[in-house]
């Protein structure tokens, strides 16, 4: 897994995963082909030239694709949710998102219904799954410190 640490114009650092680094390298090659200077703005439009406001092109792209109800801020929710669904702990997601509290991060970390269902499967182990239902509706278990039997209702 390759990642890269970049410094923003504001002096903050951003870590990119290998896929993002690959895309940026491709953009650099494209800039070179277009004859753009190496320090030019990252995104370039044939119609508008250098793109300085990403929210503007994002809104244009959404309109052209006829996507409604999505904003620039939606990407932050998607980022947090995907990290959580990939198994990243909330503290790390909080740090990535730049949140001061874990409560704020939890508000962002929406989980897909199928992911919620998958989270129950690790509880199933072949050795702990019973092959039969108790005949009287109770599971019997011998207490380790006595010979008496404790009854646990299955209902």
Instruction: Give tens-digit pLDDT for 130-142.
Output: 555 555 556 555 5
143 token code pair: 């207490």
Give which of 15, 2, 152 is closest to 96, Cα–Cα. 15
Q: Please report, rounded to a whole number, the percentage of residues in the chain having pLDDT higher than 90.
A: 17
Q: What is the pLDDT of residue 155?
A: 42
Categorize the per-residue pLDDT at 65 as very low, low, confident or very high, splitting at 50, 70 and 90.
Answer: very high
How many whole angstroms separate alpha carbon 34 and alpha carbon 68? 33
Q: What is the pLDDT of residue 87?
A: 87
How many whole angstroms separate alpha carbon 34 and alpha carbon 23? 16
DSSP state of 47: T
- Strands 13-16 and 43-45 turn out to be unpaired
43-63 pLDDT per residue, tens: 767 777 777 777 778 888 899
Q: How far is CA 90 from the centre of its chain?
A: 10
Question: Position of tokens 């019973």?
Answer: 130
Say if CB 153 and CB 141 are below 8 A apart: no
Say if CB 19 and CB 3 are below 8 A apart: no
Is the pLDDT reported for residue 85 higher than 70?
yes
Say if CB 54 and CB 38 are below 8 A apart: no
Q: Any alpha helices (H) in the chain, and if so which ranges?
A: 18-34, 54-64, 74-85, 90-97, 102-108, 113-118
């Amino acid at each position: 897994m390759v990642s890269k640490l970049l410094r923003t114009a504001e002096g903050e650092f951003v870590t990119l995963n290998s896929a993002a680094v690959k895309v940026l390298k491709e953009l650099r090659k494209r800039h070179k082909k277009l004859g753009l200077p190496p320090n030019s703005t990252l995104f370039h439009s044939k119609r508008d030239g250098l793109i300085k406001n990403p929210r503007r092109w994002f809104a244009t792209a959404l309109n052209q694709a006829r996507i409604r109800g999505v904003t620039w801020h939606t990407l932050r929710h998607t980022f947090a949710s995907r990290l959580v669904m990939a198994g990243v702990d909330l503290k790390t997601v909080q740090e990535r998102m730049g949140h001061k509290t874990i409560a704020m991060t939890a508000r962002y970390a929406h989980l897909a219904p199928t992911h919620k269902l998958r989270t129950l499967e690790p509880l199933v182990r072949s050795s702990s799954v019973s092959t039969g239902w108790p005949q009287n509706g109770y599971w019997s278990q011998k207490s380790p410190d006595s010979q008496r039997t404790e009854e646990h209702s299955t209902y």
